[in-house]
């Protein structure tokens, strides 16, 4: 079938909740994707920061094939080897204590919120606790995750949502302090806001949050769903700051294409929060996804991907900064590692995204006016050069 026929067939049966680009992708290789017409695209989206290993990686693929031939699913009523290995590797990478695997980032947020509420309930013996979240944050689409998402237009059609949520200004410690009450059980924050527009937290802000939470016995939750798993050059963005949370969520690149998420707890949070019967999942952490997670960690270490991101980040930033200097519609660059945003002024970001796609570069937007670049972690200088050439053409048109 032709591309437009595939698009029409999709619209006939799939609920229209996405404004999809008019591209029917068929296969991938390395940092490139190909559509049904054979057109080649350099991918600087990675499936929204998911496909860290790029596409059609032989070692990753073989690990999944081997697991398919061995055991796909058992439920969490039994032990299995991939769960033990994936959990061990994630706990070691984070330096934290206990892991709960979920099916998605949104579910990881739900679990983190429940763990924080249960921690406070265990301490006090009563419920009705509150959570402080950040303005312009994004944590997911389910009712709980949406409740702590700090952008009104995401929440308003679905209100009333979960109660007891207060919003503070990101990177403003005094704003957070003003929202703290004797009912606050947790503060949730993205070390780098993603959907909100690629805003890194300041060192002072995260350090201040850690002190504040320690003083008041409040749990600090970091959402590392987009900025984690090597995107900044360390496994988790908070490791650059030296500020460890009590609970951390991750997903996206954790499975590098297989749908899996997790929330991870330190010893204090794990010991006094969720107990048997408090939380569960049928599919979460099954043998197939855990085999993927385990292989992802193996390949990160084998190929030195964290060091690779650190090494290439200055080159990527230099190329993007050149675009800021050259084009008046590009006001600034912000971000960290392979999570970068170009702030556009006087030029619709959707227009630039479309022109880039027309010229063979996949990029996406964030925060209304930010061009977001979250490529696979395997990109090279040659890929960065190609991206800059195509993006410059899109900006110049």
Q: Which SS3 state, helix, strand or coil, does residue 163 take?
A: coil
In the set 44, 138, 170, 236, the catalytic residue is 138
The distance in angstroms from the start CA to the end CA of the chain is 32
Phi, psi of 301 (to 5 degrees): -70, -45
Distances (CA, A) of 342 to 187, 383, 389: 28, 18, 15
252 is catalytic: yes
Residues 6+ apart with CB under 8 A from 167: 132, 133, 134, 135, 150, 179
43, 57, 223, 246: which is the annotated catalytic residue?
223
How distant, in Å, are the alpha carbons of 28, 261, 283, 296 from that of 60? 14, 18, 21, 7
Burial 284-315 (b: 16+ CB within 10 A, else e): bbbbbbbbbbbbbbebbeeeebbebbeebbee
The answer to whether 138 is a known catalytic residue is yes
Catalytic member of 252, 295, 319, 336:
252
- Is-catalytic flag, 101? no
Spatial distance between the Cα atoms of 237 and 80, rounded to a whole number of angstroms: 30
**Tokens representing residue 315 in the block:** 């080159």
Any bridge partners for residue 370, and if so which?
A: 343, 366
**Tally: H helices and E strands in the chain:** 15, 17
Enumerate the active-site residues.
138, 223, 252
């Amino acid at each position: 079938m032709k591309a437009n026929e595939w698009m029409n067939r999709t619209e006939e049966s799939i609920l229209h909740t996405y404004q999809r680009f008019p591209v029917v992708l068929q296969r991938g290789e390395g940092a490139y994707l190909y559509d049904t017409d054979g057109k080649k695209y350099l991918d600087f989206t990675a499936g929204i920061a998911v496909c860290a290993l790029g596409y059609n990686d032989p070692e990753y693929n073989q690990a999944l094939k081997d697991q398919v031939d061995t055991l796909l699913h058992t439920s969490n009523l039994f032990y299995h080897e991939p769960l033990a290995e994936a959990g061990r590797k994630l706990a070691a990478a984070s330096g934290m204590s206990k892991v709960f695997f979920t099916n998605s980032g949104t579910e990881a947020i739900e679990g983190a919120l429940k763990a924080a509420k249960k921690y406070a309930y265990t301490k006090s013996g009563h419920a009705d606790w509150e959570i402080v979240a950040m303005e312009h944050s994004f944590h997911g689409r389910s009712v709980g995750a949406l409740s702590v998402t700090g952008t009104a237009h995401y929440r308003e059609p679905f209100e009333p949502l979960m109660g007891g949520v207060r919003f503070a200004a990101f990177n403003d410690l005094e704003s957070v302090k003003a929202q703290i009450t004797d009912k606050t059980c947790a503060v949730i924050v993205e070390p780098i806001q993603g959907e909100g527009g690629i805003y890194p937290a300041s060192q002072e802000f995260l350090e201040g949050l850690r002190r504040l939470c320690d003083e008041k016995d409040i749990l600090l939750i970091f959402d590392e769903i987009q900025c984690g798993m090597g995107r900044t050059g360390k496994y988790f963005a908070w490791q650059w700051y030296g500020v460890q949370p009590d609970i951390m969520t991750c997903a996206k690149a954790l499975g590098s294409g297989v749908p899996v998420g997790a929330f991870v707890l330190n010893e204090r949070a794990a010991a006094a929060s969720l107990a048997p019967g408090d939380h569960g999942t049928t599919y979460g952490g099954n043998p197939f996804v855990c085999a993927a997670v385990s292989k992802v960690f193996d390949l990160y270490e084998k190929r030195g991907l964290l060091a690779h991101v650190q090494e290439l980040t200055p080159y990527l930033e230099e190329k993007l900064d050149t675009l800021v200097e050259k084009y008046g519609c590009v006001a600034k660059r912000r971000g960290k590692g392979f999570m970068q945003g170009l702030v556009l002024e006087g030029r619709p970001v959707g227009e630039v995204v479309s022109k880039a796609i027309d010229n063979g570069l996949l990029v996406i937007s964030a925060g209304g006016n930010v061009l977001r670049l979250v490529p696979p972690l395997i990109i090279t200088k040659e890929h960065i050069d190609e991206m800059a050439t195509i993006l410059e053409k899109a900006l110049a048109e």
